[in-house]
Every structure is written in structure tokens, then in C-alpha cells.
Structure 1
Amino acid sequence: MKKQANKQKAIIIIAVLLVFGIGAYVTTSGEGERLTSEQEPQRKAKAVDQDKLPIEWAEVETKEELNDFYRRQIPKIDQIRERELMTSPGQSMTVPDKEGRVQINEVWHSGQQIFYLYSIDLSLLVEEEGDTNHYLNDPPQVDQLKIEETGDIQSQTLHAFSSLRHNEAVIFENRLYGIIHSMPIMKEGMDDPYMSFSQMPESFQGTAKTSIRFRINGETIETEAIPVPYSYDPDKQTIATLPFSGSYSDNGLTIEPTELVMSVSTNYIKMRIKDDNNLFNHTLEGRVISDDQEVPFSPRLQKIDGEENMYRAFFGPLNESSTEIPDKLSLDIRNVHLIKENPYSFTFELPELEGTDHVNKELTKKVAEKYETNVYLQDMNYHKNHGLTLSLRYTPKDAGQKEKLVGTTIFNGQTPPDQTDHISVVTDNGNDGFVGTGGSERTSRLDIPDSLLDGASSVTVTFNEVVVANKIDQTFTIDTQSE
């Protein structure tokens, strides 16, 4: 159950509009009509009165302007095409009693997600004479994508929650063009990249029988499954693999970057991190420095399965649209986060909560001091349906001090960071338990269930383990001439 909940969180930001087929059904109240396949993707689309479209989209006049739209959505799309990473299903379908069709033009499997470049004839979107459908002011909306079992590809449903809103599509030659994303298709035996954070996406080559269910003008359209080619080759996606020189070692802490990998879809640094005295929290603060910019990388690192003390640190593009390797590259690590068993507590006096639906108070009160860092209780927010949330702020006494207490969530790779026993609570009337938490270097949030507050007038919060940022300020050189 928890696995399914995590997957739903991971895919809630993912959308798919993938419409094609040798047959489909249009249904409004359980009954449907068959859609038919067409092999004329380049025919002219019928002109329509754009005032009758459900919403207003920007219109482009040339193919180059259409490609500019694509480039804004996928900055390296030119390089992706040059590397032949796209596949083209090249099929369209018609709708009975309507002239409009839908076309999947290109598909790019980036590893972590799939991009679909598609077009819809505007004639499918306009209000027909005498139509009183109250959904006509809504943009088209994807429902779900279904994959049938095909060879070693297991059956699966990819949920999609996405509307083609104003900035998500453009009009060109009487068609609506857009780019939608889905989670990757899984083969039998593959580790789900959303469930296993320690895994990189695996190579994928195959044809999957695919169908789509979406809504246009209040109608639900579901295609029959047709073969669609998908291809993901991490080697073809890789731009460069660059080695590092140097390592850092001090007081039992060792940091050794080994390589930087640049690709058209993602960039990361592979490094070894180990501390002889404390657990590494899988988080740190650092940045990649190129010729003319600094790019921070994700503070939470990915543990690499099967390689002791090895991690990946992901970072954004060094150049949005280019695949050129900068002349100069270096890695700057400012601090590393370690877990220490050095508890501290503070007690908070509760306001009157009985019979209260909601209480919000700004406090800005110092409640603790640890590792030369002042801890302030910034505010409290109580809601009878959600419990009590306390916001904390962490302020080091000296910006340059060697160690400082931070609010970063403890993550040891074994338990989800928001379901741990690192922070406990006891009330003055004997209720006790653990709290949910989330945070960054400078702030954190504590979520105390309402059930623990019943009849209490004060709460004592104890941090059984803490996260301490160890200042490093170490720069590592990257050999950009090795490629």
C-alpha cells in the first residue's frame, strides 16, 4: 500500500497525451463508436473558427516557430534528434462523424520519463452547431495510458493528469501541438525507477501495445492497443564522461569525486563519501562551476547499489540548448551533512485548543542552542483535522564556523525521511509518540498529530539524532580534455 502511495506521489506531476490506433471508442454514457486508423499524417487539416475553441492558444506561422516552441519545452531537442533518440509512430486516427484526427509525431524515452510530441486537428476541439455540452470551455484532458502485455513488457497503467492549457500547446496550420510526459514503461523484472531511488534507468528497446484514454469536449475516447516503438539507450544519450582529480580527507571524513557524466537528459557526479565516526546523511551542499556559471546540485544524493559508499549527485544543465563541454569545469563542495547522536529538547506551552478549529501564531522564540547554532521556534499552526505544525529556524553564530546544526531531514537510505523515529514528543499528561518532519539547512517543520495533544497544556520535543553540516569548502578539478 505504501509503495502504491509513493508511486502516485511520484507520477502526479506526469502527463501523457498519446492518441493513435487502429481502432478506438468514443463514450459519453457507457456506449461507444469505433475510431478508425489513417495513414495520412501530413494531409491538410480543416480550417475552423478559432473563436469556437474551448480556450485560447498562441498560434505560430512557420515550422521553425513550432520548433522554437519545442525547444522551450525540451531545450536539447535538436541534439536529441541528431542522435536519433526519437521514434516516430507515424499514425493518425479519425473520429466517426468528425473530420478531425489526432497524430503522435515523435516519442523520446529519456530514461526517467517519456516525451510525446503530438498534434490534434482543431476541428475536433470546436463546438459543433447545436452542441450544448457544458465541458466545451475545458481544454482536452488526458485520463490514462494503458500498456498491454507484449512479450517481456508487462501490462501496466500509467495515470496522467494533465490539461492542454494556454501555455502547454500552440496552434500551427489548423492543428494543436503539444508535449506531454509519462513515466517510463517497465519490462518484466525491471526495477521501477520511482520505487528504487538507488537505480538508474535501464536500457529499453521494444514495441509496446499501447492505448490511451482522454477527454475532448466532455467525451471519453479510448483507443485500441497498437504497437508503438520505444527506445532508450543511455550510451547514445551520454554527451561526455569526465574524470576528476584529487580527494578530501580530514578527521575521518573522506570525499572522492570520480567522474562527471553529462547527457541530453540528465547530469550527475559520481563520488565516494565515507565518515569513520558518523553516518553520512546522503545530503550535502555543493555546486558545479563552469566557464561562466554556477549550477547547484540536488542536496540529496542517490546511493548506488552494489558499490560501497558510492553516490550520485544530480545537477541541472550547464547550457540549456548546447551539448558542448565547457573549457573549464570544477566541483565545489561547501559542506557535508552527518548524522550525530547528540540529543536536545525544548518544551512548548500549548495555547487553548479545546473547541478550537484553527490557531496560527507567530512566535520567533529561541528554544535551543546546539553546535553553536541558535534554534528558533518561528510559528505554530494548529488545525483540528491536521494537528499541530511547528516551524523552526536554524541560525549559526558565525557564518564561517566548522560545524553547524541544520534542519535537513534525516535520511539514512533505510526509512522514508518523513516516517522516522528521530524526533519524539511527550506531553505533560503522558501522551507520547513520534512526529513527521521535513526541512532544509535553515528551516524545518514538525507535524504533531492531534491525538497526542488531547488534554495537554505543553509539549516536549526531543531530537534523538541531529544533522550537522561539516564545513568543507573544497574544490575538485575536472579534466575536460579527456573526451
Structure 2
Amino acid sequence: MIERVIHMWKNINKWKWLGIIVVLLIFAIGTYVTTSDSKDRITYTQKAKPQRKAKPVNQDDLPTKWQEVESYEKINDFYKERVPGLEIAQEKGLTTFPQETSKLPQRDGRMQINEVWHSGRSIYIFYSIDLSALITEETNNYVNNVPSVEEVKLKKKQDADTQTLSTHAPPMQYGEGVIFENRLYSMVQTIPIPKEGEPDRMVPNPEEFNQQLLTSMTFRIDGHMYESKSMPVQYTFDPDKNRLGQYTFDRTYQNDGLAIEPLELNLGITESFLKVRVDHHQAQFNSSMNATLKTANGQQIPITPFLQKVEGKENIYEGYFRPVYSVPEEVSLEVKNVHLTNGDSFSFNVDLSEINPKVRGNTSVNKKAAEIYNTDVYIEQLNTHGAHGMDVRLGFRPQDFEQPKKLIGISPRQMGGPAFERPKNVHIESENGKEANVEYGGSEDSVYINVKDSLVQDASNLEITLKNAVFTEQINQTFKAERE
């Protein structure tokens, strides 16, 4: 009888525990279904936070002071304030979360790559480093003790060669990082990974990129270098996913041999660009114009003055401008003037007898030196730099402020060349028998010409010829565009 009771009690306990397990399973499944259907099923906090605790420290021992925040969301706010477009990139799922960690050799702590954004023209690496790794018992008082990221190295797994990328990471002073749970959170910006044979500089036209690269970071701490181990990090860039809106225009402007046809406007997360056709029957387009993009909510965004020639397309150019973080249904392009050249030149003399080129100083001249396109050219100032030559500053003053054509100081461009190339369109002949061809730079109403020391010494006069002068064609036209 007693054995039967014990047997029944065991069966009751068994069914009791089975019931509890079933209830827990149902609860777990329900929780999974609920969270998997949620829009915010994976938050920034869940993706980016380190998976271990950092060693507590006395913050008075740190090499400098940083602001302390109370949540991972505040860390992300810190990043979004410093990286234009990051919030949209995160919303569109364009960032990756490596969560790769490495101990720093000979330091009491680790670093971690928490998030990466390849924006096309820049790569942003958001990382954290244990505060304990930044504390040094014996500080070197002869160096800058504020830590910094010195370089980022990338390598494909199968390659022996390592690429070291240029970084934009100022020393981690106050304002360059925040503290949370005994870690310093900061970021580093690098150029994109260049193609084989390309120089280490900004990529002119970002292309699709999707590779996992071994990544290491080198920190300068108390004057010494500490490199992390190489960690696998996914770098992804998709040009199509970085576009926010595309627009087409309503008309073409044609007058007196000049044709302007805005073709396409693309708004993107980190940059936007305008594609336009410009042609003139009697002059060459200087690949530059004065144009502004306007939105219905009052934003006015200037188009970069220098446009790039689209390879393989006759008279088609692209101009870039800063991002527009809203996507309006309609925008307008206001073109004030375009810049042209037809090969005209002008010359003038610079009297050096009243200055001492061996002494640094600025001499105001304010003397008319030439005239072209109903514009008076004035020598406004001579700036001498001792053994480093001198600058001649010219001012351009139109005879009628409203005249449609006037001389400007925008430099002539190599037709079809990169935006940063300027031909040497200034010829200088010195009284001492020497001569040189140099470039110049300026704005719509002034020009600076640099004269080498060898042309200035033992000379009382310079004859300067500015070739292929650039002039404006005033049009004051507005082109409306609608979103496709």
C-alpha cells in the first residue's frame, strides 16, 4: 500500500514538472513571436554594445576628461551629431556591427570595433576602448598624453600585403569621445579602400563594395604605439541604397549660342549631384557656374562651382553639393551665371621699385592696370614674403554692375580634367631676364598670382600676361524639377 502511494506521488510530481516545462515553452515561443514581429526587434543597443564588462577605474587617473553619458542611445546621439547622414544610414540598415574585440598589447584593457559605415567617400569606424587601457602609472611628461588613433590597416585574408589608410582622427580631447560603463567611445574616419594602382586619396566616383577585410587599429597612448590584432570586419557600400530621391527637370534654356539643360538631380545620404548639359557655340564652358538648389521649405544649397566632365558624354557635366536630409517632392535649380572662356588675354606691368621684396609686408597699390570685357583690372595689393617671393592681388571691377558679361577670377580649367587641376595660364617676364608660367586662383571679383623669388630679385618691373581669361554669362534662370 505504501509503495503504491509513493509511486502515485512520483507520477504526480512528474506530470507537475512536465506541465511547468510546457507552460515555459509556450511563454518562450510567444515571446519570440512577439519580438520577431516587432519593428524594433534589434535596437542599436543590442547590436553595438560590448559583450563583456570593463574594469572599473578611478577617472581622476585618466590622461584627460571626457563627458560621461548614461546609455548607449546617448553614445549614438554623440556619433550622429558628428557624422552627417549617419542616422539615415542606420535607419536604412547600411551600417555593419562587427563586435570584434582585441586586447592592446602591454596595456591593461581591450578595444572593440562596434559599428562601421562605408559611405562611399569615407569609412567611419565607431569603436570603444577600456578606460583601464588609457591609464599609465608613470606618465611621460614630455609628450602629448591625450590618446589618439594613428592608423588603420586593412588586409584581405588571402593577401600578404596590408593597406594603411589615411585617417581623420584628432587627439581624443574633451568633445572627441564620451564615457559609458568604464569605456571611452569615439570614432575614426578614413578614406575608402582604393583600387589597385589608385592613389591613396578620395575616390572620385564611389562604386559598389562588399568585402570582409582584416582590420587593425594603432593607438598612440602616452607617446607609445599599440596596435590591435587584425579583426574580420565587413565593409559594404551600395550606391543605389544611398540614394534618397531622383528628379527630372522641365525645360532647356537657349539664348545667343548658349544652351543649358539640367538633366538629372540625385539626392543622397552623404552627397547629392546634378547632371547638366552646357554648350556654347562661340566659347568654351569653363566647367564652372554659379548655381543654387532651392527646396519648398526654404533650404538653399549651393552647387559646387566646379563641375566634372562626364567621361564619354559630350558637353555633359556633374556638380556635387551637400546632402539634403529631407526628400521634397519638388525642388528648383537657380542658375545665376555660367563661366566661359574664348582665348582672350590681357597684360599689365607691376612696378617693384617702391617695395623691398626681401622684407615681409603688404603694400596697397589700388591702381588700374588693364581693361577687358568692360571690366577694369586693378592691382590692389603686393604681398612680399622675403625669400619666398610675393603675391600680386588683382581686383575686377565691372563698369556697370548689371552688365551681363564681365571678367571674373575663377581659374581656367583643363577641359575634361579633374576639378583640382588648373593650367598655368599666367606668363611672367621679369626685368632680370627670367620668366615663368604659373597658375592662379581667385573668386568672381579677385585673383591671386604667386611670383617666385627668382623673378623678383634684382628686378624693378614685371610684365604679367593672363591668358584664356574667364568671363561670366549672366542668365538668372530657374529650372523646376519633380521627383520621379
Give the equivalent residue in structure 2 for 1:476: 479
**Aligned mates of 2:291, 2:243 — CA distance in 1:** 23
Seq. identity, %: 38
Q: Cα RMSD between the aligned structures?
A: 2.5
* Of 61, 69, 72, the match for 2:70: 61
Q: Note if 1:233 corresponds to 2:242.
A: no
Aligned-residue offset at 1:353: 6.5
Q: Which moved more, 1:207-216 or 1:111-120?
A: 207-216
Q: Which amino acid aligns with 2:291?
A: G
Give the equivalent residue in structure 1 for 2:315: 309
Q: Which amino acid aligns with 2:445?
A: R
Give the equivalent residue in structure 1 for 2:252: 247
Give the number of the structure whose residues are more often helix, by fraction: 2
* Of 146, 150, 154, the match for 2:153: 146
Aligned-residue offset at 1:40: 9.2
Aligned-residue offset at 1:152: 8.5
1:174-189 matches, within 5 Å, as: 174-188=182-196
Q: Which amino acid aligns with 2:191?
A: M
Q: Which amino acid aligns with 1:231?
A: T
User: Retained in 2: the 8 A contact 1:153–1:186?
Assistant: no
Q: 1:192 to 1:204 in 2, by over 3 A?
A: farther
Q: What does the per-residue CA deviation read over 1:106-132, in whole Å, with 9 as the maximum and x for residues that have no partner?
A: 11111111011111122222332xx03
Give the equivalent residue in structure 1 for 2:265: 260
**Aligned mates of 2:88, 2:317 — CA distance in 1:** 28
* Of 107, 122, 142, the match for 1:113: 122
User: Retained in 2: the 8 A contact 1:153–1:208?
Assistant: no
Q: Which ranges of structure 2 fall in alignment gaps of 5 or more residues?
A: 1-47
**Aligned mates of 1:376, 1:260 — CA distance in 2:** 39
Q: Note if 1:424 corresponds to 2:431.
A: no
Q: Which ranges of structure 1 fall in alignment gaps of 5 or more residues?
A: 1-38
Q: Which amino acid aligns with 1:227?
A: P
Give the equivalent residue in structure 2 for 1:80: 89
Q: Note if 1:294 corresponds to 2:300.
A: yes
Q: SS at the partner of 1:326?
A: coil
Aligned-residue offset at 1:432: 1.5
Give the number of the structure whose residues are more often strand, by fraction: 1
User: Retained in 2: the 8 A contact 1:209–1:226?
Assistant: yes
Question: Based on CA coordinates, which of the two structures has the bigger radius of gyration?
Answer: 2
* Of 450, 453, 472, the match for 1:450: 453
Q: SS at the partner of 1:479?
A: strand
Q: SS at the partner of 2:139?
A: coil
Q: SS at the partner of 2:432?
A: coil
**Aligned mates of 1:371, 1:59 — CA distance in 2:** 61
**Aligned mates of 1:395, 1:253 — CA distance in 2:** 24
User: Retained in 1: the 8 A contact 2:244–2:267?
Assistant: yes
Q: SS at the partner of 1:167?
A: coil
Q: 1:306 to 1:371 in 2, by over 3 A?
A: same
Q: SS at the partner of 2:447?
A: strand
Q: 1:466 to 1:326 in 2, by over 3 A?
A: same
Q: 1:348 to 1:88 in 2, by over 3 A?
A: same
Q: 1:193 to 1:329 in 2, by over 3 A?
A: farther
* Of 330, 334, 338, the match for 2:332: 330
**Aligned mates of 1:362, 1:75 — CA distance in 2:** 43
Q: What does the per-residue CA deviation read over 1:276-296, in whole Å, with 9 as the maximum and x for residues that have no partner?
A: 222211111000010122111
Q: SS at the partner of 1:168?
A: coil
**Aligned mates of 1:303, 1:459 — CA distance in 2:** 36
Aligned-residue offset at 1:139: 2.0
Q: Which amino acid aligns with 2:230?
A: A
Q: Note if 1:47 corresponds to 2:56.
A: yes
Aligned-residue offset at 1:257: 0.8
Aligned-residue offset at 1:231: 0.4
| Alignment coverage as a number of residue pairs | 434
Give the equivalent residue in structure 1 for 2:341: 339
